[in-house]
Structures are given as structure tokens and as C-alpha cells.
Structure 1
């Protein structure tokens, strides 16, 4: 057999005991979860920003970045709900390349998933304890979320995973919002089918158990653009796209219709500076179209301490993305303040 065992990984509950949450951290997380739920249920009109690096590659840099977010949050928290994007698993189109801190706690060292599990739990917990901001991550491996399920306030199912049955079924058992990205093809029907599946209850095998789920009424759409059969990117953040998604929600009769617009990936063609213009375009449409305003609950923005990207090398510079290019902090700060101003204009309508 060609599968070779490197480590037997611990039960999630054992890792939680090894790296525990304090009662204070639990209280902060519970409060944040309720506030985020209220936004998706239409009880709170704050706007969500899921913002952070393409990949969380270094604990110190990520925590430093999140401290900056927390300071800015104090200025904008009456209009915005900031959720740090702390992505520790990275899907790779060809299977090659950096797969995230879960695989490689040190990007210059060999993969070590046992140490990776410890590292990502410590990092998410440290962000929560030091900044008071609970985090978002990607559900790349459905079974692995059990190591972080007490820490995360938001999860996303990526474009390459959204058609997978196990992702859809596990999402139906989450008690936090889970965003279903459109697939790389851009097909809206696949995305809507995933939301429908996640909102309904299911029975299936999970971590060697026969389980039932209640369905997740907070499952929703993430628009990240697509790629046609010729490899050309097709953005889907425009007003016409949002109207189509609105109509699909009405037809499907799903709970809590919601869209998060991912401003990077195929919406920006990975031209990271385009995120600024895309965010402002979305905010413009929210201002002038009440149905779109109620539908679009937030934006996803890729941002780090310094702009751009770099290849991994022995002395790579911490705080610059080693995967997709990101906005730098100064542009991010200005963008968040501009989004805050737009939200204030909307409140005054």
C-alpha cells in the first residue's frame, strides 16, 4: 500500500485540553458569535469585513496584523463587524506549493501535521485572547475543523471543495455562518445547491461516528468570480450578478439570504489593488439598491502587513504573502475607513 503513516494524530478533545480556552475567551467568542448571527439574520445592520492574509504563514506576523485590525475596530465597530481572516489550510490547484500552516508550521521545513495542528490552534487562540477578535478559516478538510470548532466564528468552503458531499454535510452541522463559494467555473447553480444542502439536516459518517445534523440556517453564498473554459476570468460582483443571486435565493426559498463578496481571486484576476475599486463598487450598489443592501452582508479582502507577494526562500520577509498577493496595511486601513464612511451614508438614507 502506498499510504505511509507519519503520526497518529490526537483526538480533538485531547488537543483542546493541551491548548485550552479560558472562560474569558469563551465569553468573548460567544458574544461575537451572537453578534455575527444577528447580522446574518437581519437583526443587526452592521457590515461584515473578513480581512487578512491569503495564508496565515507566521504566527507573529498574523498576530501583529490582527492587533492593527483590533485598534481600527475600535473606530469602526458601530458600523462594521471585522473578522480576521486567519487561513491555515491552502488548496492547491495542482497539489504543489505551500499548503498552509497546518501542513508546514515553518514554510522552510518539511511538513509536520501533528505540530501543524498545535500551531494553528495556538495562533487562533492567541488572536482571540490578545485582540478580542474571533477568527475565520477555510474548511479545507472537514474532519480537521474539530480541532478549531470552539475558536472559529466563520468558515468558508472554497471553490474547489464546494461540490464535495462531505463539505456540504459537515457545514449543515455548524452553528456559525459558513460561506459557500461559487466553483472555479463560476456556476451559480452549484453554489446554490451547496447552500441548500448545508441548510438542511442530514445523517452521515463523521469522524467514525454515525451522526445527525440540524441544518445550518446561516449557510450562504460567497461570490469570488470564475474562470471560463479558455482560462479567462469572469468577475461576478457586479449589480447584475447580485440581482441574479437575489432571484435565485427567492426561488429557492432559503433562510437568511446573504452574499459575501470576495474582492480578490477571480473577481480581481489576482490584481490585488483592484480589491479597492471592487469594494467601492459593491458599496455603491448597496447604497442605491435596497434589495442589494439587504442581500450583501459583507466583503472578503486579502490583506497583510506589506503589499504584494514573495516566493518562499531561506530569508523571506515576514508579513508579505507567500501565496496570492495582498493589499498592504496602509491601503487596507484606508479602505476599511472608506467602507465605514459608505456604511454611514447608507444609515443616513
Structure 2
């Protein structure tokens, strides 16, 4: 019933020194950060597509996937900015199951948090250096942000974390766009309160320091659907829900009102193929209403090399197939990105 201290973990400064970004990657991140920020401030009309595996479970297959995004990004660059999902922390509702590469660098082996932090950083760095695309990750553990703060161009706070004070305050010190998901209940006021907190300035304890933050004006909403008391999925990507969010935003003093629509999770009821239809409906809503066009800045899509998902632990691992939530396969994903670009 007590903690067992296994090993001391090196500080973010130590690991970042040992595994640094190259000067070229630093330059790429600076340019990409500015381009993505302009979407949220309304200076750019480009559309964001945050796309990639549910969980980044294997460096080779993840980087293989991201390398395939490069020629696609070149073709759609005038209208769409692709942000690779490299989600290295996986929230688990019951605490059981694969928790991401940070916990298990090898999903078939026991947890090793130190090697996991190193594997996380090395994968992100390799992805940038091979593709020139700076990634997104989920802030499951606020104290881990410092291990990736020089790498990420986008951060998401999940439905189960969005009510947590530490997450909200940590986001207030981030200098990249951070999406705050609606909680699993679907309560928009909870999500908007989290954005208010994230856009504010705060003083709190972070990694053994008293810190002050300036607030993050790029904090925004992510609509991911909800679950009712019977466990049934309730989508919130339809026109009426987008209009409601817009009205709720207008009741606040928030700057840069914006939303990303997560096409999977409770919006699709994890029927991953529905992401295509959902994406098209959201784009139709944007074309129908200038206000919704200005509100919805992008889509979040779960996609990998192979469609569907698989179990781990049976020794028959399929390269590039999700070991957590099911994902769209590469061919459907590529086609969808081109359709998104044509509709923007």
C-alpha cells in the first residue's frame, strides 16, 4: 500500500541535452509553429488535419507513416496543414492495458519509464528530421511536457484530464496551440472553463519550482463526442452542436475562439470508418455557415498504415496496425486528405 521508488528519472534538461534537436529542426519548428498559430488567430484560412495513429507504439512504423504524409502535404500545402499525431501516452479508463511508449518502449515487454522517455523523444526527433513535419502529442502527464516542449507544435488535453487543475495551469504556460477536449459527459461549460483557465495567467508549483505563466491565447476546444449514463455514444460534430459551441464562446471573453473536431472516439462510437463521413459533414457545415467556417479550424483523424486494430501479446504483430483504438488505413486516409483539401 505504499510507493516503491524504483529509479530516479533524469530531468528534462538532462534528456534534452543528450537527445537534442538539430539546428535545422529548430528552424522548422519555429516556422511551423508560426504558421499553425496564424490559423488559430484567424490570420490564415488554412485548415488543420491532425492525423496519425491512436497510439505511437513503434518508431519504425510511425515514422514510415509520417514519411508518407510528406508528398501529400506538398500537394495540399496551399489549403491544408498536416500535423502528425505522435501520441506517446495512452490514457486507460480502468488503468489497465497498454499505456503508451512512455510506459512500454516495447509493448510486449514490461514497463521501463526511463527508456520510455528516451524512446518518446527519439521518435519525435526522428519524425521531424525525416519529414519536416512537427508533431502533436497528448498531455496525459503535465510533468512530462518539459521533455517535449521544444518539439511539439500541437498538444491535446484528453476528456478525462480536462477538469484537472494541473493540466489547465500547465497549458497556460505552453507556447503552442493546445486543444482542450470536452469531458466524457459532453458538458461544454467544463471544456470552456478549462480554456478560460488555460488562457489565464497563474502562479503554481511545477516540477519542484514556483512558476508564473503568461496564459496561452491559443488554447481552444476539441469536440470528441460524449457518453451518456447508459454508456451510449453521443456525437457533437453536427451543425447544431457547432452552432451551440459558437454561442457558448460568444458568452465568454475568450480570445481566438476556435474548435477542432475529433472524428473518432465518441463522435464515431469508435467505428473508425465513419471518420470519412464525419469529416465530410463538418466540411459541409463550414461551407454552409461563415461563422462555423471561422470557428472550426481543423479535424483530428486516427489513421495508421493498416486499417482496424489488433491485440498484443500473441506474437503475431502486424506492422503498422493499431494496438489500441481502430484506425483508418493509409489508402483511405490519403484519399480523405485530398478530399478535405478540395472542400476547403
**Under a length normalisation based on structure 1, what TM-score does the superposition of the two structures give?**
0.98
Q: How does 1:175-194 map to 2 (within 5 A)?
A: 175-194=175-194
Say which SS state the counterpart of residue 152 (structure 1) adopts.
coil
Answer yes or no: is 1:336 the counterpart of 2:343.
no
Answer yes or no: is 1:213 the counterpart of 2:213.
yes
Answer yes or no: is 1:261 the counterpart of 2:264.
no
Q: Residue 303 of structure 1 aligns with which residue?
A: 303
Q: Residue 110 of structure 2 aligns with which residue?
A: 110
Aligned partners of 1:13, 1:130: CA distance in 2, in Å?
A: 24
Gap runs ≥5 in structure 2:
none
Aligned partners of 1:5, 1:109: CA distance in 2, in Å?
A: 20
Q: Residue 23 of structure 1 aligns with which residue?
A: 23
Q: How does 1:216-235 map to 2 (within 5 A)?
A: 216-235=216-235
Aligned partners of 2:17, 2:211: CA distance in 1, in Å?
A: 23
Q: How many residues align?
A: 343
Gap runs ≥5 in structure 1:
344-349
Shift of 1:34: 0.3
Q: Residue 322 of structure 1 aligns with which residue?
A: 323
Aligned partners of 1:283, 1:127: CA distance in 2, in Å?
A: 29
Shift of 1:288: 1.2
**Under a length normalisation based on structure 2, what TM-score does the superposition of the two structures give?**
0.99
Aligned partners of 2:32, 2:63: CA distance in 1, in Å?
A: 19
Q: Residue 346 of structure 1 aligns with which residue?
A: none
Q: How does 1:87-98 map to 2 (within 5 A)?
A: 87-98=87-98
Aligned partners of 2:160, 2:237: CA distance in 1, in Å?
A: 19
Aligned partners of 1:6, 1:342: CA distance in 2, in Å?
A: 52
Alignment deviations for residues 29-77 of structure 1 (CA, whole Å, 9 cap, x no partner): 0000000011100111100000000000000000000000112101001
Aligned partners of 1:225, 1:164: CA distance in 2, in Å?
A: 19
Aligned partners of 2:88, 2:246: CA distance in 1, in Å?
A: 31
Say which SS state the counterpart of residue 2 (structure 1) adopts.
coil
Aligned partners of 2:264, 2:148: CA distance in 1, in Å?
A: 25
Say which SS state the counterpart of residue 251 (structure 2) adopts.
helix
Q: Residue 65 of structure 1 aligns with which residue?
A: 65
Aligned partners of 2:250, 2:129: CA distance in 1, in Å?
A: 40
Aligned partners of 1:228, 1:148: CA distance in 2, in Å?
A: 35
Alignment deviations for residues 292-311 of structure 1 (CA, whole Å, 9 cap, x no partner): 00000000000000000000
Q: How does 1:100-179 map to 2 (within 5 A)?
A: 100-179=100-179
Alignment deviations for residues 79-125 of structure 1 (CA, whole Å, 9 cap, x no partner): 00100000000000000000000000000000000000000000000
Q: Residue 83 of structure 2 aligns with which residue?
A: 83
Aligned partners of 2:267, 2:148: CA distance in 1, in Å?
A: 29
Answer yes or no: is 1:74 the counterpart of 2:86.
no
Say which SS state the counterpart of residue 159 (structure 1) adopts.
coil
Say which SS state the counterpart of residue 60 (structure 1) adopts.
helix
Aligned partners of 1:62, 1:139: CA distance in 2, in Å?
A: 19
Alignment deviations for residues 236-263 of structure 1 (CA, whole Å, 9 cap, x no partner): 0001000111011111020000000000
Q: Which runs of 4+ in 1 moved over 6 A?
A: none
Q: Residue 2 of structure 1 aligns with which residue?
A: 2
Aligned partners of 1:307, 1:315: CA distance in 2, in Å?
A: 16
Shift of 1:315: 2.8
